[in-house]
Amino acid sequence: MTITITAFESSPDGGKGLSRDTRVRWALEEVGQPYQVRLVSFRALKEPAHLALHPFAQIPTYEEGDLALFETGSIVFHIADNHAGLLPDDANARARAITWMFAAVSTVEPPILELATARLLEGDKPWNKERLPLVEDRVRNRLKQLSARLGHADWLDGAFSAGDLMMVSVLLRLKASGILDEFPSLEAYVARGEARSAYKRAFDAQLAVYTDKPSTG
Ligand SMILES: N[C@@H](CCC(=O)N[C@@H](CS)C(=O)NCC(=O)O)C(=O)O
């Protein structure tokens, strides 16, 4: 069955791979599933056809036959659950990998997004100077905890899993902030994720959209 995902027609990051279609592309590349991409304008996000797929008017979405999904955590889980390569066979190890997926989107990503908002959208507010260090420290606290758990391991729990895919995807947003550099083991963890051939293919495919090359993955 053909898999179709949505991505921005015009990406705010210009192809740095931070739009969340990249993590879905990455998951599909890891499991070797071909996919098509439908590019959506900001105006089209708010139109009924897209809202029927995504109630919050965002990308990415995922369509496969009768199934339509939104939320990258759910999409990546669906891919990992249906194709070998992203979740361990052992039931307990599988449950732990899924736990890391949730940790990525519900515990680590929120302060990182808050930091992006504080830096990009609230820089002109009179209270930003006082608030920004607090937000940065919340991110540092999470990274300290994550780094303590990762220790000297390559991945969070044994072999690379969908948990790592989501965690690396979330941490990638910090690369430009300078904060990730304070945690060399996490910086190396992110670099290991980026070095995977599946990630490279996903990255190149999303970049191709904005450099006028064909956009299907
Ligand atoms: N929690 C959602 C977040 C989706 C999201 O924020 N998508 C961004 C692109 S990376 C978007 O569509 N932003 C446009 C908007 O919110 O208006 C997920 O993980 O899928």
Ligand 1: nearest atom to the Cα of 58: 12
**Cα separation of 159 and 81, whole Å?**
16
Contact 127, 193 (CB under 8 A): no
- Rounded to 5°, angle at Cα 59 from 27 and 1: 50
Check if 19 has its Cβ closer than 6 Å to any atom of ligand 1: yes
Q: Rounded distance, CA 135 to CA 142, Å?
A: 11
Residue 111 to residue 50: CA distance in whole angstroms:
28
- Does the beta carbon of 13 lie inside 6 Å of ligand 1? no
DSSP string, 54-120: -TTS-S-EEEETTEEEESHHHHHHHHHHHSTTSS-SSHHHHHHHHHHHHHIIIIIHHHHHHHHHHHH
Kind of pairing between the strands at 61-64 and 3-8: antiparallel
pLDDT in tens, the chain (217 residues): 999 999 999 988 889 999 999 999 999 999 999 999 999 999 999 999 999 999 999 999 999 999 999 999 999 999 999 999 999 999 999 999 999 999 999 999 999 999 999 999 998 999 999 999 999 999 999 999 999 999 999 999 999 999 999 999 999 999 988 999 999 999 999 999 999 999 999 999 999 999 865 544 4
From CA 7, how far away is CA 27, in angstroms rounded?
Answer: 15
Largest CA distance in the chain: 53
Distance 72 CA to ligand 1 centre (A): 9
CA of 21 to the centre of ligand 1 (A): 9
Length reported for the chain: 217
* Atom 15, ligand 1: residue with shortest CA distance: 58
Q: Residue 62 forms beta bridges with which residues?
A: 5, 69
CA-20 nearest atom, ligand 1:
10
Q: What pTM value is reported for the model?
A: 0.96
Q: How far is CA 197 from CA 30, 47, 192, 201, 202, in A?
A: 8, 36, 10, 6, 9
Are the beta carbons of 49 and 17 closer than 8 angstroms?
A: no
50 lines ligand 1 (CB under 6 A): no
What pLDDT shows up at residue 12? 86
pLDDT of residue 11: 83
Ligand 1 lined by 58 (C-beta under 6 Å): yes
For residues 80 and 105, what is the distance between their CA atoms, to the nearest angstrom?
16
CA atoms within 13 A on the CB side of 188: 11
